[in-house]
Amino acid sequence: MTVYAVISFAREPAEIVTQGVMSRDVFQRLFLDRYEFGGERYHPADDWTVLGALLAVDGAILVTIPVWTWTGRDGVRRFLCQATDDGSAPALSVLALSERELLNRLNEQLRE
Q: So what's the pLDDT on residue 1?
A: 81
Q: What is the pLDDT of residues 5-18, one digit of tens each?
A: 999 998 889 999 99
Confidence grade of residue 86 (pLDDT, cut at 50, 70, 90)? low
Alpha-carbon dihedral sign for residues 74, 95, 79, 103: positive
pTM of the model: 0.87
